[in-house]
């Protein structure tokens, strides 16, 4: 499978996330992705401050065990398994565990979509404008949404007419209207290939 989805951090406030049931491994992994910092910040810890980078989280085996309703041993084994598979790096001492998600940028754009919604405005012609000059990030979202929706169908179209039909559907998609002409051409050639 290709592509990605964005998960709004507020999902953690939803009743389904707050269930009393123990987490499974999938839920624990997603929880780690939701927990880590989306921006660099200083965290107060043990009478001082620690710089925690984007994609990192200071936690402990006890905190994760309580959160996921697991034993500390199960949490430790799970983190070790993720580290063995190069999904994260962990640094532990007697007081804390620093978790660093490997390739965090693959999971999140630098300017996250929830933040972008506050920055995006439509101009008088209905074109999306990013008030913080993040047009590339905004356009990337529209472009990748379209590519994910139509690429597989275009790839499985064997005749020119079938490909053209898929491309026509993509061109009538609301996201397509948000792309500039260069991106529209890029999408056309990507779907035709």
pLDDT at 124: 43
Alpha carbon distances (Å) from 72 to 60, 79, 92, 138, 152: 9, 11, 13, 41, 43
Residues 144 and 171 in one domain: yes
Q: Is the dihedral of CA 63, 67, 70, 74 positive or negative?
A: negative
Say if residues 173 and 184 touch (Cβ distance below 8 Å): no
Three-class SS state of 28? helix
Residues 99 and 32 in one domain: yes
Question: Residue 179 is encoded by which pair of tokens?
Answer: 């792309």
In a domain, 1, yes or no: no
Residues 18 and 45 in one domain: yes
pLDDT at 31: 94
Residue 117 CA to residue 8 CA, distance in Å, equals 12
Alpha carbon distances (Å) from 19 to 29, 30, 69, 73, 89: 16, 15, 10, 22, 28
pLDDT of 114-173, one tens digit each? 444 444 443 443 334 444 444 444 456 777 777 777 888 888 877 777 878 888 888 888
Residues 98 and 131 in one domain: no
Give the β-pairing of 41-44 and 128-130: unpaired
Query: How buried is 118 (Cβ within 10 angstroms: 0-12 exposed, 13-18 middle, 19+ buried)?
Result: exposed
Residues 95 and 42 in one domain: yes
Look at residues 104, 128, 152 and tell me which one is the last residue of a structural domain.
104
Residues 62 and 123 in one domain: no
pLDDT at 58: 94
Domain count within the chain: 2
Q: Could you tell me the residue range of the domain that residue 173 belongs to? A: 113-192
pLDDT averaged over the chain? 79
- The CATH number of whichever domain residue 42 belongs to comes to 1.10.10.10
According to DSSP, residue 13 is labeled G
Residues 16 and 36 in one domain: yes
- Return phi, psi of residue 113, to 5°: -60, -35
One DSSP character per residue, 99-168 reads EEETTHHHHS-SS-HHHHHHHEEE-TTS-EEETTS-HHHHHHHHHHHHHHHHHHHHHT--SHHHHHHHHH
pLDDT at 109: 59
In a domain, 72, yes or no: yes
């Amino acid at each position: 499978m290709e592509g990605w989805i964005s998960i709004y951090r507020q999902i953690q406030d939803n009743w389904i996330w707050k269930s009393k049931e123990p987490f499974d491994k999938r839920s624990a992994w997603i929880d780690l992705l939701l927990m880590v910092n989306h921006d660099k910040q200083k965290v107060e810890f043990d009478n001082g401050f620690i710089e925690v980078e984007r994609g990192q989280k200071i936690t402990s085996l006890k905190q994760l065990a309580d959160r996921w309703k697991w034993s500390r041993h199960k949490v430790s084994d799970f983190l070790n398994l993720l580290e063995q598979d190069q999904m994260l790096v962990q640094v532990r001492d007697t007081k804390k565990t620093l978790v660093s998600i490997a390739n965090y940028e693959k999971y999140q754009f630098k300017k996250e979509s929830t933040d972008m919604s506050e920055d995006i405005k439509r101009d008088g012609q209905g074109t999306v404008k990013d008030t913080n000059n993040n047009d590339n990030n905004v356009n990337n979202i529209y472009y990748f949404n379209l590519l994910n929706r139509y690429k597989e169908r275009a790839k499985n179209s064997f005749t020119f007419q079938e490909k053209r039909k898929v491309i026509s559907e993509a061109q009538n998609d609301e996201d397509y209207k948000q792309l500039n002409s260069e991106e529209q051409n890029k999408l056309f050639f990507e779907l035709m290939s």
